[in-house]
Amino acid sequence: MEIFGGLSGRQRTPARHPTAKAPLVVALHGGTYSSAYFDVPGYSLLDRASALGVPLVAPDRPGYVDSAKLPDGEGTIRGQARALTVALRDAWKRYGEGTQGIVLIGHSIGGAIAATIASEPEDLPIIGLAVSGVGMRTPTEHQDQWASLPNTPLVEMPLAAKDFLMFSPPGAFDASMPAASHVANTLCPRDELLDIVGAWHTVAPDVLRRITAPVHYRQAEFDQLWIVNQGEVDAFARALTHSSRVDAAMVRGTGHCMDFHYVGKALQIQQLGFALQCACESTTPTKAPT
């Protein structure tokens, strides 16, 4: 089902907003997951947003599921950001009426893409950015691991390896997980996996420096896809030199896919509360610094 801009996905549009000011939330999934990441029963960000009267759209990013494919060479983080910026203009026309602006929520690679969009918002009314599962640097050994993936446009991460990387430590998630998350698993464009481990660390400081909107940032203590320590979290926050407000913290005792861990409910409530606060502040985005 196309929800906007040639992208498939899912959306919840409450009949009315219970608060005087509400945002339009756009949620961008990470690599190897579809938009279903935000709609797993019992862990659904869409359901939580709807309960608060917050309209939320979660597209399948370009190249995923039934969304339009990108031209060769455009499957990078920046290429995805460019395509999504265009698509978000349509999302704003379709779903933005009565809201104060767009708050982007992004997880993992989706967080890097959301940050890149927020760094160059053009004419989009970006009033907030909430990201999790993305950092400044990935372990160096991941470059060789990702480079060994099949040389095909779309790749599938082996299930056992994926569950091991996405869920940690033991006891931090319900016994129904990781199996319950498998409904969101899908093929992933190889280009974005290579880009996040090969180039993101070189461009991240400048991307973050150019963001002017408020930022909510959470990183998991036991995230196995990123180098994680308090110093890295602090470095991410310091890089946001032009953001009007930064709330950055490490989340103790949880792994990469925080939404699917016990802490997921708290994370999602915090992100939606942040989005509502951004709407109440009615921040008018300015052009990113040059």
pLDDT, tens only, 59-102: 999 999 999 999 988 899 999 999 999 999 999 999 998 899 99
Q: Does residue 9 carry a pLDDT above 50?
A: yes
Contacts of 160 (CB under 8 A, 6+ apart): none
CA-wise closest residue to 285 among 172, 149, 118, 39: 118
CA-wise closest residue to 54 among 236, 210, 279: 279
The beta strand positions in the chain, using DSSP E, are 2-4, 7-12, 24-28, 56-59, 102-107, 126-132, 154-155, 188-189, 215-220, 246-251
**Separation between Cα atoms, residue 50 and residue 56, nearest integer Å:** 8
User: Got the DSSP string for 210-234?
Assistant: T--S-EEEEEETT-SSS--SHHHHH
Q: pLDDT tens digits for 160-170?
A: 999 999 999 99
User: Which whole number is the average pLDDT over 14-27?
Assistant: 80
**Separation between Cα atoms, residue 200 and residue 111, nearest integer Å:** 11
pTM of the model: 0.96
Predicted local confidence at residue 284, as pLDDT: 52
Q: pLDDT tens digits for 225-279?
A: 999 999 999 999 999 999 999 999 999 999 999 999 999 999 999 999 999 999 9
Q: Which helix (H) or strand (E) holds 165?
A: helix 159-166
Q: Which helix (H) or strand (E) holds 149?
A: none
